[in-house]
Amino acid sequence: MKFKKQVARALALDSSLGRSITFFMAGLLIAGVATSTWTLSRSWERAVADTERDAINLSVSQARQAEDTFLQAELVLRDIRRSLPADGLLGVDVKQFDGYLTELKARLPQLHGLMVYDTQGDMRATSFGKVPLMSNNSDREYFVYHRRNGHGSIHIGHVIRSRSTGDLVIPVSLRISDSSGGFAGVLLATVKIDYFRHFYGYFELQNRDLLALINTDGTALYVRPYGDEMANRNLSASPLFTRELARKDRGNGTWVSALDHVERIYGFARLERYPLVVAAGYDKPALWNSWLNDSLPDLVLNAMLLLGTLLMGSIIFRQVRLNVRNQTELAVLRDELTSINHTLQLMALADGLTGLANRRQFDLFLAKSLKASAVTQKPVALIMIDIDEFKRYNDFYGHVAGDNCLRMVGEIIQKLKLCHNDLIARYGGEEFAIILPDTGPEAALFVARQAVTAVRSAQIPHIKSSGRYPIVTISAGCYSLIADPDFDDALRLKEGADKALYQAKVQGRDRAIAATA
């Protein structure tokens, strides 16, 4: 709660100006943050889109390169098969045929070797020029495949280590069939893994970017930047095989690699002729860091703009708080001046000795009451009161005691039960007056008698009084009329009340008399 008050005070939320500026500054900040966020988000999306495009372009181009590589190997194998007689190598000069294979192999830099195997898996001819001692490959996957399958299509196997040279190679094989379609052996072309390693090395990729040649069954043939240990690694659990290739032959996507658990942006393309896939993956965290470094000037500029906005807002709020404080001080000062003016007005309309209304207020109230009477046609009554033999009291007790006597009489009259719109005033000297709006002569006389009785009951000593008791008494005269615009009603009312007061004095004082018109 205290924090909310501090925030409200800091933002001047208790003023309409502060609320308006707070709303404006909040909108400005939100707009600035939203614009910066949108701009940076669009920039990042463009960077990802560009990388996706680069990935798919790279994968498509390398898929075509791989297809060309294996197509050349296939064409060589088919040429060799066409050059073989119907009965295989029987009757062929093997040494001369080895030279033929060597010549063909030299034409294609991707080839590791060319070999011919008979039905038992024994090597009968080779581009290496000499058949090694351990030359039976009947246990190899490609040999078993062709022996079991009668079709004459090219078969690309998994990575193997050559028994002739010890190099890692990809076997590309073709079945040899006799005139009756029976199994007559296998033609083998081996493609060097180093060929792909060397070719993929031409591309400028980051340390964790990936370029891979994979069999469609999920077996890795070569993966840059990894070494030979990735050969024949099973990647069938990768989203590339579980999700992407099931829907399309080429495309892009983002997933965590099954090789090293690095999130990459991938492009992939399936070869049209062979059961192979090329995938190119760009390290997404590295892309993020690169984008962040490139976007750093924009981030700093946006931060400076936001900081400038906050600084400008703090200056504005400081001025608003100062303005609100000045307005508050002015309001307090105005209220104090209003209160002082009201007090001065009351003092100007009050009697300094008794605190009752003075003669000026009496005249104003009487004029107001008579004006209302002229409209409503209701009577206005006036009671004139005089302290009996006050001169004797003053001469005997002194002026200080006389002032006290006037105050006590004023307090007694003020305690009378009158209406809220009646006015009690000190008329002058020892005289008091009561104005009673909407009051007839009978009610006015009743009030006057109450005043006389109340003063008498107060038993204020007055040993110089000529009355029955040595106490202060008053005489009262009252008069009532309905205002008439054609006459001086104030004068008529005063004269009527004075006449009644005079009659009360003549009849012995300490009484109230109502004058008649």
- Using CA atoms, how far apart are residues 180 and 183, in angstroms rounded to an integer? 9
Place of tokens 């003092």: 347
User: 359-376 vs 489-506: helix axis angle to the nearest 10?
Assistant: 110
Place of tokens 């992939």: 268
Place of tokens 């009996």: 388
Q: Is the peptide bond before 485 cis (omega within 30 degrees of 0)?
A: no
- Using CA atoms, how far apart are residues 254 and 270, in angstroms rounded to an integer? 17
- Using CA atoms, how far apart are residues 393 and 84, in angstroms rounded to an integer? 164
| Closest among 505, 472, 344 to 404, alpha carbons compared | 472
Pairing of strands 380-387, 474-481: antiparallel
| Closest among 249, 247, 215 to 230, alpha carbons compared | 215
What tokens does 162 get? 């050559």
Q: Decide if 357 contacts 349 (C-beta within 8 A).
A: yes
Task: State the catalytic residue, choosing from 52, 74, 244, 430.
Answer: 430
- Using CA atoms, how far apart are residues 292 and 29, in angstroms rounded to an integer? 23
Does residue 45 have an active-site annotation? no
Half-sphere exposure of 105 (CA within 13 A, CB side): 21
What tokens does 98 get? 């080895």
Task: Please give the order of strands across the beta sheet that includes 210-215.
Answer: 220-224, 210-215, 276-283, 263-270, 250-256
90 exposure class (CB count in 10 Å sphere: 0-12, 13-18, 19+): exposed
With b meaning 16 or more CB within 10 Å and e meaning fewer, what string describes 173-191?
bbbbbeeeeebbbbbbbbb
Place of tokens 């303005």: 323
- Using CA atoms, how far apart are residues 205 and 207, in angstroms rounded to an integer? 7
Q: HEC profile for 45-64?
A: HHHHHHHHHHHHHHHHHHHH
Length of the chain: 517
The set of catalytic residues is: 430
